[in-house]
Amino acid sequence: MSDGRFGARLRAAMDARGPLCVGIDPHPALLSAWGLPDTAAGLERFTRTVVEAVGDRAAVVKPQSAFFERFGSQGIAVLESAIRQLREAGSLILLDVKRGDIGSTAAAYADAYLDPASSLRVDAITASPYLGFGSLTPMIEKAVATGAGVFVLALTSNPEGSSVQHARTADGRTVAQLVIDEISQLNKGVSPLGDIGVVVGATVGQTGHDMSELGGPVLVPGLGAQGGRPEDLRTVFGDDLSAVLPAYSREILSRGPSVVALRDSLEQLMDACRRVVQPIG
């Protein structure tokens, strides 16, 4: 992890490499499609190939921790190796762990993923606020202190999410709007981009939520295989897409195991995202 605040480093990476996050989701079906065994050795081969293909091209690479954890210590070793390789390739690493807990446990998660002394240290993590936004304080404080970031779930694409995220708080705001507003306060005055972001699914449509004061990045999964298209970003976010980071995984990964095909897919999707997120003129 280089010096400087995460938001500034993310802004620079998106400007230099383009607005795209590539997920590494080595689930069993993909391993099989690549002709690899559903073993730690298959996981290692898959991950090494993806890192080779995208590590020096994508602004952000997002390993999904669960697919590594399911192989126990061998899987974690593969994840640690991938983190080292991605750092050497110059991409920012966003570990998709969706952690959420309270007190000392939340602090321990922060130490695991954001402390410079940890072998799992990354540039940013995903987190769940549904034990109360204040429960994330140890992770957020650790992130700010170490130049890292946190992406907090706000409006997700899964149908089960709306029953919680659209529920109304005592002051009439939705839970999702409360999360957005809390993050807006944390990012206030931080330039060029805040260190704390939100996760908003590409397929949520017109949300009716106000993100105009967010001040931080917006990670947008749900594109490609999950049904979202780059054009949908304007439906969700309007005209200001400067802080939007589209995320693809299966749409790119399904092109493997050819490194050339993986890179071609990344470039095609990058161009599509640039046309929407960074329009010319």
Strands 60-63 and 124-127: unpaired
Written as one string, the DSSP assignment of 48-102 is HHHHHHHTTT-SEEEEBHHHHHTTHHHHHHHHHHHHHHHHHHT-EEEEEEEE---
Closest CA to 52 of 247, 264, 262: 262
Determine whether 130 is exposed, middle or buried from the number of CB atoms within 10 Å of its CB (0-12, 13-18, 19+): middle
Is 98 part of the annotated catalytic residue set? yes
What is the greatest pairwise CA distance in the chain? 54
List all residues 6 or more positions away from 170 whose beta carbon is below 8 Å from its beta carbon.
Answer: none
Sign for the CA dihedral angle at 193, 196, 202, 205 comes to negative
Q: Which of the 8 DSSP states describes residue 139?
A: H
Q: Distances in Å between the alpha carbon of 74 and those of 22, 50, 85, 180, 210? A: 23, 18, 17, 37, 43
DSSP one-letter code for 275? H
- DSSP bridge partners of 93: 61
Q: Which residue among 62, 98, 142, 188 is the active-site one? A: 98
Active site residues: 98
